Structure 1
Amino acid sequence: MKPIVILFALIGFGTGLLAQDQQPTDSLEGKQVVLDEVFVSAVRVTNETPVTFSNFKKDEFAPRNLGQDIPILMNFLPSVVTTSDAGAGVGYTGIRVRGSDATRVNVTINGIPYNDAESHGTFWVNMPDFASSTESLQLQRGVGTSTNGAGAFGASLNLLTDAVSEEAYGQISSSIGSFNTLRNNLKFSTGLLNDHVEIAGRLSRITSDGYIDRASSELDAYFLQGAYKDDNTLIKALLFGGHEITYQSWYGFDAATITAIGEDGNIETNRTFNIAGARFDAIGNSEGFYENQVDNYKQDHAQLLWNEQLSDAWNLNLALHYTHGRGFFEEYVDDWYYTNVLFSGDSQLSFIGRENFTLNGTEITATDYIRRRWLDNDFYGTVFSAIYSQEKLNLILGGGWNQYEGDHFGEVIWTRFNNGNDLRERYYDDSSKKTDLNLYAKANYRLDSKWNLFGDLQYRTVGYQANGNETGLVDDTFNFFNPKAGLTYDLNRNNNFYLSYAVANREPNRNDYENGSPKPERLQDIELGWRYVAPSFQVNTNLYYMRYKDQLVLTGELNDVGAPLRANVGDSYRLGLEVDANIEFSNQFQWRPNVAVSDNRNIDFVFQRDGVLQNLGNTNIAYSPWLVIGNWFTYSPWETLDISFLSKYVGKQYMGNIDSDASVLEAYSQLDFNVQYVWNIDAFIDSITFSGMINNVANEDIISNGYFYTFDDDFSDPGTITTVEGAGYYPQAGRNFLLGATIRF
C-alpha cells in the first residue's frame, strides 16, 4: 500500500451538520422552487430527529457526475462500500451500508419505492445517468424512520428528483474516459410559463467497453417532467426510464486466473478475464466467446405527485405510480463446459425440459444451445401523507399500497441438436404477485427549549404468491409492527444529543425461497449520537447496536444468474462507531472526513464441515469490514475552480460466515482526484463547466467484491466427506480517467 494512499485514507469524508438543514435555493439550472421538498418531507429527517443520516446535494456530486452510477458517486459517504461488476463504475454496480447489501437498503424516489418488490434489489443500471436528474439524496443509516417499501435493515436512501426551475435553460453535457467510456446528455427546462407551468426533460446515452473483458454497456435513458404550481399547490407528472444492454460480467473468477505461473516460470496477471460466453469444442479447446451474451432490459416509470398546502398547519401529499419492466438475459450454454466443469454427469437436456433422444444411432444427452430467461413485470400503487406542523408538534400520518405482478419464463432460441422441439417454446413459465400495505404515524414533540420527543409507529402487511420449480408454491402473508422512539437534547446552540430505539421486520425475497430460507427477519436498532455545529466546524458522532433475529446474511454464494444468496443465521449483531465532520479552514480549504469502526458477528454459528456439524462460535458476518474510512479534501483558489482529493480505505472482510482464510477480501485503499472549473460567459452561452477525474490515482490492485462457496466432496475418498472451499473475485480498474464539459444556455 503506497504511503500517499494511506495518508489520504486516514482522513475520511462526511456531510456537515449545517448543510444537513439548509434548503437548496439554486443550482446550475437556475433558481428553484423549494416547495419540491415536500414530496420527501414525510420520509426524510432533520437534526430534530434522533436518526443517523447524511445529506448529499447536487452541487456536491455534480463535479464527479461524469457517467458513473449513483452508488459510485456515494462511495465516500460514511459506512458505504461500493463495487462495480465491469470494474469502472458503469453497468451493474452495488452498494453496502454498515455491511448490509443493496437488498437491505430501502430506496425511494420522491417517496415511492424503487427496490424490486420480489428480489428487494436496486438495479441502477436500469436508470442510467439518473444522478443528472437528482436534486438531492438522504442516506439514513440503521432502521431510520418509517418509509414506503420493504424495511430498512442497514440503511434507507431517499432520492428527490430535479426541482421546478423558475428560469428557462438548456444544457448539453459530454464526457469521455478510459475503456472507451462516452456519456452524452441533453437537459432543458421551459422555466415557469405564466408563473405556473414548467416542462423539463433529459435524454442520455452512455457507452463503455468496461475494464473487464467484453463487459460493455450500452445505456439509454430519458426523464420528462411537467409541473404546475401556485401559492398552495404543486403537481408534478414524471416519466423516466432506461434501456440497458450489458455484456454479462457477473461470474468473476478465481485467484488462479488473476495470478498464474506462465510457461517461463514467471507470474502472469490477468485481472480482466471474463468466462461469460465462452465456447469450447468437443475436447475442451477454446472457440472464442459468444458475442451476444448480454443482459437486455427496459424499465419505464410514471409518477404523479400532488402536494396541497391546506392551511398554515396542514400539508397533504398524494402520489400515484406505475413501473413496467421487461427484458431478458441471453446466454450460450456450451455442452463441453456444462458437462465437464459445471455439472459433471448431469443430463443437460433435462435442465431445459427436454428428453434424451437418438440421432443417427447416437444417444444425445446434451447439446450446445442459446437460451433467454425473461422478466416481465408491473409495479403500481399509491403513497400518501398528511403533515401537521405547529410550534411544538410536527405530526405525519402516511402510508402506501403497492402491488407487484411478475412473469418469469425461459425460452431456447437455438440448439445444435434438436429433436423436433419448437424454438422459443417456454421451458419454464412462472408467475408471482406481491401486495404491500403500510400505514404509519410519526411525531416530533418539543417539550421545552432543550428536549424533543420522537415517536414512530408503522403497521405493514405483505402478501406474496409465487410458483416455480425453484420456489415451489408460495402463498405467504406477513404482518409486521415496527415501533420507533427516541429523544433529542439540545445542550446549547452548538451541541445536540440523541438516543433512539427502533424495530424493523422484513420478509424473505424470491431467492430466499429458492435457497430454502423462508423465515422473516427482525432487527432492533439502538442509536446514540452527538452533533456539534459551529460556523466553520461540524461533527457527527454516533454509536449503534443492531441486534438481529434470523438475519438473512449473504452466504457468499451466487445463483446461476449471478445474484447473491442469503440464509437465516439465528442471532447476530452489528456494533459500531461512526464519526464524520466538516471543517472549513478558510474560504479556500475544506476537509470532510469520516471513519466507521464496527464489530459484526453471527452468534454461535453452526456449520457442517467434513460431514460433522460444528459450532464455530461467534463468526464475522460476510461482507462486513471492521474499518471503513473516507475523505474529501477540497481546495478552491477561486470561486470558479474546485480541486478535490478523495480517498477510501476498506478494511479486511470475509465473503462467507465461517471465518475461512479462503474467503478473505484483503483491505484496500483508493485515491481519486477531481477538478471542476466554471467559465462564466454571460452571453448566448451562459457558462461552460469543465470537469475531470482520475480514479485510483495510485493504480492499486483493488478487489472490492467476490464470492465464496463450499461443497462436500465424497468422490475422491469413498466413505470420507471432505468440505471443499473456493472463491471468486471482481477486480476493479487501475488508474483511469473521465473528462467532461457542460455547456449551459
Structure 2
Amino acid sequence: MRKTLLLLLFSIFTIGITYAQESGKQITGKLLDAQTKEPLIGATVTIKGTTKAAAVSLDGSFKIKVPADGTTTLLFSYIGYVSKEQVVSESNLGTITLDPTSASVKEVVITANSSLAIDRRTPIAATSVGKVYIEEKGAGAEFPELLKAAPGVMTSKGGGGYGDSRVSIRGFSSNNVALLINGIPVNDVEAGKIYWNDWAGLADVTASMQVQRGLGASKVAVPSLGGTINITTRSTELEEGGTVSQSIGSYNSFKTVLSYATGLTSKGWASSFLLSRSTGDGYTPGLYYTGYSYFANISKVLSPSQTLSFNFMGASQNHGQRYTFNTINTYRTSPLGIRYNSDYGYLNGELYSAEQNYYNKPLASINHNWQINETSSLSTQVYASYGTGAARYLSGTNVNLTPGNSQGVPRTGDIYSPIDFDAITKANLANADGTASRYLLNSVNDHKQYGILSSYKKKLGDIDLLAGVDGRYYEGEHYNQIQDLLGGSYIIDTRINTATGPSGNINNPNAHIGNGGRFNNDYRYEIASEGVYLQGEYVKDDLSAFLSVAGNNTSNRRVDYFNYLNSDPNQTSKWVSFLGYQAKGGANYNIDSHSNIFANIGYIQRAPLVGSVFLNKKNDLNPNAKPEKLLSYELGYGFRSSMFSANVNLYRSSYKDRAKVTSSTTPNDDGTFDAINISGINELHQGVEVDAKLRPIKDVTLSGSLSVGDFHYTSNTGPAQVTSTSGKTTTQDALLLKGLKIGEFGTANTTAQTTAALGLDVQVLPQIKIGANYNYYARYYASYDPTKITTTQQTKAGDFTNYQLPNFSTVDLNIVYRFKFAGLDAAFIGNVYNLLNTEYVADGFETSLPTTAAGYNFVARTNNLGVWYGSPRTYTTTFKINF
C-alpha cells in the first residue's frame, strides 16, 4: 500500500513538473515581406538561445510558447532575408516584417511607394512576387514571365527577340497596362506600350513586383485601364557588401552581374551600384543580343526625419528581331522546324538580322522623403529620361521576307536559306545611276521626358488623407534615316505631287540622300500633362475603405519639318488639349481572422493617344478623336488560414471610345505599311479569377490559379482613315467588329481568355529547394486585320468568327542550393523552361480573311495562318556569391 501511495505521489509530482515545463505564454503574430506585404510562408520563429522553433503559416501567422517568467527574445529568419530579433513584450506581437538580403533592417529608403496594395486592406486584386521568388524562378526569364502564374495575366515572348516580351491583363494589352518603377510611370508616352527591352536586366535590382488587376492602387493622375505593374527597386544597404553572379544557358546565353554597396557612413551617406552584361544567340537564328544594365543609388540621411536619394538606372541593348509570320507548313518543311526564322541572313560573312532594335533609355530621379511629424509626411520625386535608339530594318523595292515569294529578297540557297545581303549589295553596285534599290533604314525615336510626383499625407484619426500633383512633359523626335545603302550611293527622296499626298522633304525636294541622311518623314511630338489627385482612406478595426478622385489636362502638339516650308507658321500645330478625370472607391471588410470581402468601382476618362489626334502624316486634326472611357467594378472574397488561402474575384469593365492607330498587313513595295486610324472601338472585359495556396506539411507549398474571361467587342466602329506612305488619306467603312473576340489590331497579338497555373515548391533540405510550375492556355484566338471586315471588303462578314488556336501548356522547373563558399553565402540556381519541349503556337495571325463561304473552311484558314512557335526547352544555370 505504501509503495502504491509513493508511486501515485511521484506520478503527480512528475506530471506537475511536466505541466510547469510546458506552461507559459503563447505568443502570436504575423511575419510579412517588408516590401510586398506577402506572408513569408515557412519562415522560422526561434526562441533565442534554444532549439525550440515554430514555422510561419500560409497566412503569415505564427504561434510559439515561451516561458511565462523572464525576458524572452524571438529570432525571425528566412532564407534570402535579413534576420530580426524582437523582445517579447505582449502576447500578440502584431505584424513583423523582414527585408530581403538586398536591404537591411535600417535601410535608407529610396522612395515611399504608396501605390502598393496591402493584403486584407486594399480592396483590389493583386499578386506580388518578392526578391527570393525573382532570384529562384527568374534566371533567364524576362520581367513579364515572372507574373505568368497570376490569374488574368498572359505573357508571350512575341517574335522571340531579347526584351520583346509582351503582357496583357484581363484582356487589356500593354498600351492599357501601366508600368511604374518606384512609383514613376515609364510606359511609352505616345503609344502607351511597355517596351521591356528598355528595362531588361533590371530584375537584379528589383526588390518586389506587384501586379494589380483592374483599377489598381496607383497614385498618379493619368491612370491605366487594365492593370498596373509596380516594380520596387532595392534600397541602399546599411552595411557594406555586394554580390557576384554568373549565368550560363541555352543558345550561348551568358550573363554577368556585379553589385556593391558602400554601407551607411557616420555622416549619413550611402551608395550602391550594379552592372550587368548579357549576351546570347537567341532560340532562333538572327535573334542575337547584347545588353548592359546599370543601376546606381546615392543617398543622404539629412536628419532623423528626412532622406534624399538619387537614382540612375537603365538598360542599353542591341538585338535582332523577327517580324514575319510564317505558315505552319513552312515550319514543318524547313530544316530548323519550329526554330525557323525567315528574317536573317549574312552580310560580309557575319550573321545579320533584317530587323534589329537598339535603344538606351536611362531614368534618373531625385527622391526626397520627409516625415514632418507623427501625423504627416511629404514625398517628392523629380525624374528625367532621355531615350535614344531606333528600329532598323531592310527597306526599298521588293523586300518581302516570306520564303518563296516571287517579289522577295535573294537568299543564299533554297527558299529556307538565309537572306543574301551580299547579293543585295552586288545588285546595288550594278545600278548604273548609283541608286540603292534596297537599303537598311533606321526608324528613329529619340525622346526627352521630365516629370514630378509629389504627395502629402496627413493622418486625421482613422482617416489618411493623400493629396498630390503629377506633372509630365515629353518630346519625341521621329525620322527615317539611311543606315547603310548596301553598295549604293544614294536614294532620291522624291516629293510626291501634293494632289495625292505629301512625302519627302518639301524644303529640299528630290534630294539625294546618302548614309546618315533623313528622308520620307521628320517630325516631333510634344505632350504635356498636368494633374492633381486626392484620396481619403479609412482604416479602423476590420473595415478599410478609400475614395480617390483625380483630374488632368493633356495637351498635344506636332512639329513637321518635311511637309511644311520652314517659313510656314503651320509647321508647328496648335496645342490640342483633352481633359481627363477619374473617380474610384472601394471597401474591404475582414469578416473574421480567416475571411474578408471587398468591392471597388471606378470611372475613368482619359485623353486619346497622340497618334490618334493627327491625321495624314501631317498636322491635320482628327475630328473623331475623343477621350476614352472606362467603367469598372469588382467583387472579391479572400480566405486565410494556417494551411490554406484563396482569393476569388469577379470583375466587369466597359471600355468605350477607344482609338487605335495601326498598320496595314500588306507591305508596300518599299517594305513600309499604310497607317490606319480607327476610332469608336467599344469593348467589354469581364470574368472570374481564382488563386489559392495549400501547405499540407511544413516544407511543401502548392499554389494554383484559374482565370476565365470574356473579352469581346460590343459594337462596330466608326469610319477608319487609311493613310498611305505617300500621305494620301482615304476613308473606309466602319469595321464590323460587334460580337468578335478582342484581339489587337494588325499583327499585334491577342490574349488567351482562359488561363490556369499550378505550382509546387518543396524544401527538400534546409539548403535545397525544388520548384515546378505548370501553365495552361485555352480559348486563345489568332489576331487578324480588322480593316478587312467591312461591308465593302467582307462579303460574308456576318459569318466571320475568330480563329481559335490550339490549347497548350508548359512546365518549368527550378532547383536552388544554398551553401557556404570560402566562408561566404553562395547559391547555385538551375532553371529549365518548357521542360517537356512542348511544340505550341505562341502567336497567330490570319494573313488573309475569308470572303466567301468556301473560305470559311477550317483547313483553308489553317493553311493561311501565320504563326510564331513558342520557345523550345531552354535552361539557365546561375552561381551567385554574396560578399
For the 8 Å contact 1:126–1:299, the answer to whether it is kept is: yes
Tell me the secondary structure at the aligned position of residue 552 of structure 2: strand
Shift in CA distance, 488/702, structure 1 to aligned 2, threshold 3 Å: same
For the 8 Å contact 2:383–2:450, the answer to whether it is kept is: yes
Matched, 1:387 2:457: yes
Q: Which one of 83, 99, 116 corresponds to residue 156 of structure 2?
A: 83
For the 8 Å contact 2:147–2:211, the answer to whether it is kept is: no
TM-score of the superposed pair, with normalisation by structure 2: 0.72
Name stretches of at least 5 consecutive residues in structure 2 with no aligned partner.
1-36, 40-57, 62-93, 409-428, 493-510, 564-570, 616-621, 720-731, 744-749, 790-798, 853-860
Q: Which one of 693, 697, 709 corresponds to residue 582 of structure 1?
A: 693
Pairwise CA distance, 1:385: 0.5
Q: Which moved more, 1:407-416 or 1:546-555?
A: 546-555
Per the alignment, residue 742 of structure 2 pairs with 621
Matched, 1:179 2:251: yes
Matched, 1:688 2:826: yes
Pairwise CA distance, 1:395: 1.6
Shift in CA distance, 625/514, structure 1 to aligned 2, threshold 3 Å: farther
Map 1:192-211 → 2, pairs under 5 A: 192-194=264-266, 196-211=268-283
Pairwise CA distance, 1:565: 8.2
Pairwise CA distance, 1:626: 2.4
Q: Answer 1 or 2: which has greater strand percent.
A: 1
Opposite residue 170 of structure 1, the aligned amino acid is G
Q: Which one of 373, 381, 387 corresponds to residue 325 of structure 1?
A: 387
Per the alignment, residue 646 of structure 1 pairs with 773
Opposite residue 605 of structure 2, the aligned amino acid is N
Per the alignment, residue 805 of structure 2 pairs with 665
> Could you tell me how far apart the structure 2 residues matched to 1:162 and 1:378 are?
26
Per the alignment, residue 402 of structure 1 pairs with 472
Q: Which one of 519, 523, 530 corresponds to residue 637 of structure 2?
A: 530
Pairwise CA distance, 1:279: 8.8
Opposite residue 630 of structure 1, the aligned amino acid is A
Write the deviation string for residues 124-183 of structure 1: whole angstroms up to 9, x where unpaired. 212221111111122110121343374211101111111221222121011111111111
Q: Which moved more, 1:16-25 or 1:224-233?
A: 16-25
> Could you tell me how far apart the structure 2 residues matched to 1:738 and 1:319 are?
37
> Could you tell me how far apart the structure 2 residues matched to 1:653 and 1:637 are?
37
Map 1:394-433 → 2, pairs under 5 A: 394-415=464-485, 416=488, 418=490, 421-423=512-514, 424-427=516-519, 428-433=521-526
Per the alignment, residue 144 of structure 1 pairs with 216
Per the alignment, residue 719 of structure 1 pairs with none
TM-score of the superposed pair, with normalisation by structure 1: 0.84
For the 8 Å contact 1:45–1:51, the answer to whether it is kept is: no
Write the deviation string for residues 36-80 of structure 1: whole angstroms up to 9, x where unpaired. 385212554553222111122111221123243211222222211
Pairwise CA distance, 1:642: 1.2
> Could you tell me how far apart the structure 2 residues matched to 1:667 and 1:556 are?
28
Shift in CA distance, 234/564, structure 1 to aligned 2, threshold 3 Å: farther
Shift in CA distance, 253/279, structure 1 to aligned 2, threshold 3 Å: farther
* Percent of aligned positions that are identical: 21
Pairwise CA distance, 1:676: 0.7
Opposite residue 701 of structure 2, the aligned amino acid is Q
For the 8 Å contact 1:709–1:727, the answer to whether it is kept is: yes
For the 8 Å contact 1:375–1:409, the answer to whether it is kept is: yes
Q: Which one of 296, 306, 318 corresponds to residue 368 of structure 2?
A: 306
Shift in CA distance, 298/724, structure 1 to aligned 2, threshold 3 Å: same
> Could you tell me how far apart the structure 1 residues matched to 2:138 and 2:674 are?
27
Q: Which one of 259, 271, 287 corresponds to residue 338 of structure 2?
A: 271
Shift in CA distance, 383/613, structure 1 to aligned 2, threshold 3 Å: closer
Opposite residue 638 of structure 2, the aligned amino acid is R
> Could you tell me how far apart the structure 1 residues matched to 2:314 and 2:699 are?
39
Tell me the secondary structure at the aligned position of residue 192 of structure 2: coil
> Could you tell me how far apart the structure 1 residues matched to 2:332 and 2:801 are?
18
For the 8 Å contact 1:485–1:500, the answer to whether it is kept is: yes
Q: Which moved more, 1:368-377 or 1:292-301?
A: 292-301
> Could you tell me how far apart the structure 1 residues matched to 2:474 and 2:803 are?
36
Pairwise CA distance, 1:206: 0.6
> Could you tell me how far apart the structure 1 residues matched to 2:773 and 2:740 are?
32
Opposite residue 158 of structure 1, the aligned amino acid is N
Pairwise CA distance, 1:382: 0.6
For the 8 Å contact 1:322–1:379, the answer to whether it is kept is: yes
> Could you tell me how far apart the structure 1 residues matched to 2:742 and 2:695 are?
37
Shift in CA distance, 410/585, structure 1 to aligned 2, threshold 3 Å: same
Pairwise CA distance, 1:327: 1.4
Structure 1 vs Structure 2 CA RMSD: 3.8
Shift in CA distance, 513/709, structure 1 to aligned 2, threshold 3 Å: farther
Q: Which moved more, 1:414-423 or 1:103-112?
A: 414-423
Higher relative contact order (CA 8 A, sep 6+): 1
Tell me the secondary structure at the aligned position of residue 40 of structure 1: coil
Shift in CA distance, 487/422, structure 1 to aligned 2, threshold 3 Å: closer
Shift in CA distance, 115/332, structure 1 to aligned 2, threshold 3 Å: same
Shift in CA distance, 489/627, structure 1 to aligned 2, threshold 3 Å: same
Opposite residue 646 of structure 1, the aligned amino acid is N
Matched, 1:442 2:549: no
> Could you tell me how far apart the structure 1 residues matched to 2:264 and 2:805 are?
52
For the 8 Å contact 1:39–1:305, the answer to whether it is kept is: no
Write the deviation string for residues 507-526 of structure 1: whole angstroms up to 9, x where unpaired. 33345457988443211110
Matched, 1:630 2:726: no
Matched, 1:95 2:162: no
> Could you tell me how far apart the structure 1 residues matched to 2:136 and 2:280 are?
20
Per the alignment, residue 9 of structure 1 pairs with none
> Could you tell me how far apart the structure 2 residues matched to 1:339 and 1:538 are?
51
Opposite residue 312 of structure 1, the aligned amino acid is E
For the 8 Å contact 1:173–1:186, the answer to whether it is kept is: yes
> Could you tell me how far apart the structure 2 residues matched to 1:731 and 1:41 are?
40
Shift in CA distance, 476/711, structure 1 to aligned 2, threshold 3 Å: farther
Q: Which one of 818, 842, 863 corresponds to residue 704 of structure 1?
A: 842
Q: Which one of 467, 475, 484 corresponds to residue 584 of structure 2?
A: 484
Pairwise CA distance, 1:633: 1.0
Q: Which one of 646, 649, 654 corresponds to residue 542 of structure 1?
A: 649
Per the alignment, residue 130 of structure 2 pairs with 57
> Could you tell me how far apart the structure 2 residues matched to 1:39 and 1:614 are?
46
For the 8 Å contact 1:257–1:271, the answer to whether it is kept is: no
Name stretches of at least 5 consecutive residues in structure 1 with no aligned partner.
1-13, 263-267, 281-286, 346-358, 715-722
For the 8 Å contact 1:71–1:94, the answer to whether it is kept is: yes
Per the alignment, residue 64 of structure 2 pairs with none
Pairwise CA distance, 1:542: 0.8
For the 8 Å contact 1:105–1:154, the answer to whether it is kept is: yes
Tell me the secondary structure at the aligned position of residue 109 of structure 2: helix
Pairwise CA distance, 1:377: 0.8
Pairwise CA distance, 1:28: 3.0
For the 8 Å contact 1:319–1:382, the answer to whether it is kept is: yes
> Could you tell me how far apart the structure 1 residues matched to 2:642 and 2:110 are?
25
> Could you tell me how far apart the structure 1 residues matched to 2:167 and 2:308 are?
32
For the 8 Å contact 2:557–2:576, the answer to whether it is kept is: yes
Q: Which one of 714, 728, 732 corresponds to residue 866 of structure 2?
A: 728
For the 8 Å contact 1:202–1:222, the answer to whether it is kept is: yes
Pairwise CA distance, 1:674: 0.7
> Could you tell me how far apart the structure 1 residues matched to 2:813 and 2:688 are?
28
Write the deviation string for residues 74-94 of structure 1: whole angstroms up to 9, x where unpaired. 22222111111453x843211
Write the deviation string for residues 510-568 of structure 1: whole angstroms up to 9, x where unpaired. 45457988443211110101111223322111100111112357989779789998844
Write the deviation string for residues 385-429 of structure 1: whole angstroms up to 9, x where unpaired. 111235511221123101111111122244336368241221121
Opposite residue 675 of structure 1, the aligned amino acid is I
Tell me the secondary structure at the aligned position of residue 619 of structure 1: coil
Q: How many residues of Structure 1 are paired with residues of Structure 2 in the alignment? A: 695
> Could you tell me how far apart the structure 2 residues matched to 1:173 and 1:562 are?
44
> Could you tell me how far apart the structure 2 residues matched to 1:149 and 1:270 are?
48
Tell me the secondary structure at the aligned position of residue 187 of structure 2: coil
> Could you tell me how far apart the structure 2 residues matched to 1:436 and 1:403 are?
6
State the structure with more CA Rg: 2
Opposite residue 453 of structure 1, the aligned amino acid is A
Per the alignment, residue 876 of structure 2 pairs with 738
> Could you tell me how far apart the structure 2 residues matched to 1:556 and 1:334 are?
18
